[in-house]
Copies of this chain bind each other. A is one copy, B any other.
Amino acid sequence: MEQEIQQKLESFRELNKKIRSYYEAVSLMAWDLRTGAPRKGAETRAETIGVLSTESFKLQTSREMGELLGVLNRPEVLKQLDDVNRRIVEDVQEEYDRSVKIPADKYQEYVTLTSHAETLWEDFKENCDFAGFEPYLTQIVAKTQEFIDYWGPRATRYDTLLHMYEPELTTTKLDEVFGQLRDRLVPLVEAVQSAPDKPKSEFLNQLFDKDQQEKFSKFLLEQIGYDFDAGRIDESVHPFATGLNPGDVRITTHYLQDDVASAVFSSLHEGGHALYEQNISPELTGTPLAQGTSMGIHESQSRFWENMIGRSRAFWDRYYSELQSHFPEQLAQVKVEDFHRAINRVENSLIRIEADELTYNLHIIIRYEIEKMLFNENLDVKELPRVWNEKYEQYLGIIPPNDGVGVLQDVHWSGGSFGYFPSYALGNMYAAQIENTIRKEIPNFEGLIAEGNFAPIKDWLTDKVYKYGKSRKPAELIKAITGEDLNPDYLADYLEKKYKAIYNL
């Protein structure tokens, strides 16, 4: 490589490393706000996050960055670079093109606003106060609409947002995939709902000591291979995972006194996200590739560990006695088959994060449809509670008794994450497609789970998914692993097989 190119590449890597430093600082400040930062410091903190995000944004859109990309992102230079560096250049160029269109002051306003709104959201949710939240959300939607204008609308305005989380994903594609899935799941949901032999689950809702729940969650995380020397677990209203750097991937969960399953599955879910980021190849540290390749693939990993592993019969054949030993009074009389059926009980519930695997997709479709209305049809934010409640009645047959368990239940919109929700359903589809492959390549898959021997599974996923970080694109990754493109039938097959067994259909 020419010496000049070599030098530019080094400056480019250095600049990107600096941007990762801002990312780490901002992520820690956001983590802190959600896990225990004192209330009275939140407003200044929101400003601080705004200032540092803006500085980072300035670096990403700086003249220096533009010049470096101008040198490196040319065919004759790209062919001299190795795969990783080529992918970094490509990725940074995309981000640069997207960012350079937003004026820095607009961006700072946006970050301060969303950071502030995210903090306030907890109280609004708790007080079921949509009227209080509405002015913030109205501003966030308006600013996002403005950003869509800067970026340029794709097939529809909402497509611009979708593309950010899952490259090239479109409303057309999503309508089609969601349609296919719906056609197969609706009859299944109906069959399940009219099945005579429904699982009982009352025993899940006794009183469960919080400390014991915490111990059991930590135990399970250790079992699946979450590295506590490269992470920690805390509590927050809405569980999340955040990778500050590959040696520091944190998760949160929440412990509900009257629901033993909630913390278990949110821990496994966030643990799945964390396994992904903890096992990204160290050579990518300090580069923009040291993260999940898309929200959908990220979610496939959380879903895989939460559902394909964590809600399987094999898993509880191994761990149920451990759970019983944490809660002998509550569970000694409950058999493992009844426990397994209970944690897979299908119920038309209000809360997405507590929903079963089957109806979960309906929760996503509701948000997807509402977001399309907000951005493609200018739905007034004031109308949200009405639209929300109507759709919940239509799809799930229930009307939220208040906005706290309705339209205010998710943090995403307060943080400006529109176009993100579909990733959850994509995650389910990717996960099922990957599971189908893993069963072929590791024939003893269920046996390993039943032994609590997750290392071969984690290693397989590291080799196929985790180590690449963002250096392979989602479609490329799925094709390489499974030999075909995204195919919603695997999820439908998986769910049919599972629920027919559980409901004795």
Contacts and interface: CB of A to CB of B under 8 A. Distances in A.
Number of copies: 2
A22 interface: yes
A228 B44 contact: no
A232 interface: yes
Nearest to A230: B40
A49 to B, nearest CB: 9
A38 B285 contact: no
A32 to B, nearest CB: 6
A321 interface: no
A39 interface: yes
A-side interface size class: 35 or more
A252 interface: no
A25 interface: yes
A277 to B, nearest CB: 11
Interface stretch (A164-172, A240-248, A370-378, A390-398): A240-248
A34 to B, nearest CB: 13
A227 B38 CA distance: 9
B48 A25 contact: yes
A248 B24 contact: no
Nearest to A278: B40
Which of A21, A29, A55, A229 has the largest number of chain B CB atoms within 10 A? A21
Nearest to A59: B55
A142 interface: no
Given A18-B51, A51-B18, A24 B38 contact: no
A285 B36 CA distance: 22
Contacts of A21: 47-48, 51-52
Nearest to A39: B229
Nearest to A250: B38
Contacts of A26: 25
Contacts of A250: 38
Interface string A156-200: 000000000000000000000000000000000000000000000
A52 B47 CA distance: 17
A47 B21 CA distance: 8
A476 to B, nearest CB: 28
A454 B279 CA distance: 53
Contacts of A39: 229-230, 247
Contacts of A230: 38-41
A240 B42 CA distance: 21
A227 B40 CA distance: 9
27 contacts: A17-B51, A20-B48, A21-B47, A22-B52, A24-B29, A24-B48, A25-B29, A25-B52, A28-B32, A37-B232, A38-B232, A38-B247, A39-B230, A39-B247, A40-B230, A40-B247, A40-B248, A41-B244, A41-B245, A41-B246, A44-B246, A44-B247, A44-B285, A44-B286, A45-B244, A45-B248, A48-B245
